[in-house]
Structure 1
Amino acid sequence: MKNVGMKPDSYRKATATAELLAPAHCIDLLRTGQTEKGDALKTARIAGILAAKRTDELIPLCHPLPIYRADVDFELLEDRVIASAEVETIGPTGVEMEALTAASLAVLTIYDMLKPHCEPHELIIRECKLQEKKGGKSHYRRELRQAVSAAVIVLSDTVAAGRKPDTAGKAVVNTLEQAGFSPIHYQVLPDESDQLHDLVVKLVAEYACVITVGGTGIGKRDITVDTLKPLIERELPGLMEAARAFGQQRTPYAAMSRGVAGFIDRSLLITLPGSRGGATESMAAILPALVHIFDVCRDLPHPGGYE
């Protein structure tokens, strides 16, 4: 199975349809609900809903998902019945397969209930297809429409002294590159307040997005938040709330992060944890919002490339 552990939950919806061709007298039986086995449409609706809820048991590589809503409706035409299944969830992956399975099982149920009333060749299942999906990559973009400049500052005494390599900052740079940020400035500093303050004041005049990595914890040398929070003119608390909530589903230590985010003039400042896991998880949680800010909020002209 594909690992979806680093994908944030989001609202997702899918609609799928399937058709069953049948003789006119069979369509009449569906309208009256008087097949030999009972009301075919009512039975097929329940079958489709159950199929949506148990898709992960039927298709080996599908992830189990909480199904918040599943329903099946039918359209009766002269020579066919069209089953339309709609499924909704809040989860890390979509419900396309659940909708397709629901539509398929619905028409299979109708097929079973109509077969005593006609010849086998008169019943034809066809055109089971996805009609619409919302949520995930197709709805919440994770790539910029045009390049935006960014700077990544790593705060670490040990990395600055060359005693260990930086992995967290490089992971953030990699995520930004994949999302279309360019150019990207990268720099390592010791946990020194004055150096950090002066560098950020310089970079916010040159880059649209400035991200610090490290110094958001509760140690004596964790000075990032205390140094930079007074510079923020418009806070965006929701970004760090989302990052902490996402992280806390994976480790209870995420609750100790004091990270803040907001605008300094027209540059967006984000302060991330210094561990690779914390920085990566935070970027996974906030990237769709980050892309939305620079793609949609066009009242933020900046020489860094997003006018």
Structure 2
Amino acid sequence: MVDISDKKDSIRESTATGSIELKNETVKSIKEDKISKGNVLATSRVAAIESVKNTSSDIPLCHNIKITGVDIDYEIEDEAIKAKVTVKTTDKTGVEMEALNGVSTALLTIWDMVKSKEKDKNGQYPSTEINSIKVDKKIKREIK
């Protein structure tokens, strides 16, 4: 693990995004809150927040940092859901891994909750795919 003892705390923010491709009828069921496991986006939001807070447990060389804010937004399309996770801290190191971990977990949670609707007759997922997970923004500012 990198030694950050001599670094000063600063205001840090990172936004990560990604998407999951789904069948049109699955997206419609999510919009209408007709998924048997429950409210997909509410559950995904809670899972993303927990994932952000536990990043240092999931990724061995990440520092355990104080999280001061997490915001999750979704954009629903006809055959996809895009997730955006923004994480904030006032600490010695950035939060891009926390944002990436949050968006990954948000999308995986959506998949888990809708997998019964996404399976084909052979139990496969030909239409389901997680794509384009990336850091869109990273900010570092001095604390005044």
Letter in 1 for 2:18: A
Q: Select the structure with the greater relative contact order (CA < 8 A; seq sep ≥ 6).
A: 2
Q: TM (normalized to structure 1)?
A: 0.44
Q: Matches of residues 92-241 of structure 1 in structure 2 within 5 Å? A: 92-119=92-119, 120-135=125-140
Letter in 2 for 1:121: P
Counting matched residue pairs gives 139
Determine the structure 2 residue equivalent to 1:206: none
Determine the structure 2 residue equivalent to 1:51: 51
Determine the structure 1 residue equivalent to 2:31: 31
Tell me, yes or no, if the aligned pair for 1:33 and 1:41 is still in contact at 8 Å. Answer: no
Identify unmatched segments of 5+ residues in structure 2. Answer: 120-124
In the TM superposition, structure 1's runs of 4+ consecutive aligned residues that sit over 4 Å from their partners are none
Alpha-carbon offset, residue 71 of structure 1 = 2.0
Determine the structure 2 residue equivalent to 1:212: none
Q: Distance in 1 between matches of 2:110 and 2:9?
A: 35
Letter in 1 for 2:9: D
Q: Percent identity?
A: 35
Cα RMSD of the aligned pairs, angstroms, is: 1.5
Q: Distance in 1 between matches of 2:16 and 2:118?
A: 27
1:68 aligns with 2:68: yes
SS in 2 for 1:94: coil
Letter in 2 for 1:45: R
Identify unmatched segments of 5+ residues in structure 1. Answer: 141-241, 243-288, 290-307
Q: Please list the CA deviations of residues 124-160 of structure 1 after superposition, one character each: whole Å capped at 9, or x if unmatched.
A: 011100010100xxx56xxxxxxxxxxxxxxxxxxxx
* Larger strand share, 1 or 2: 2
Letter in 2 for 1:128: I
Greater CA radius of gyration, 1 or 2? Answer: 1
Letter in 1 for 2:128: L
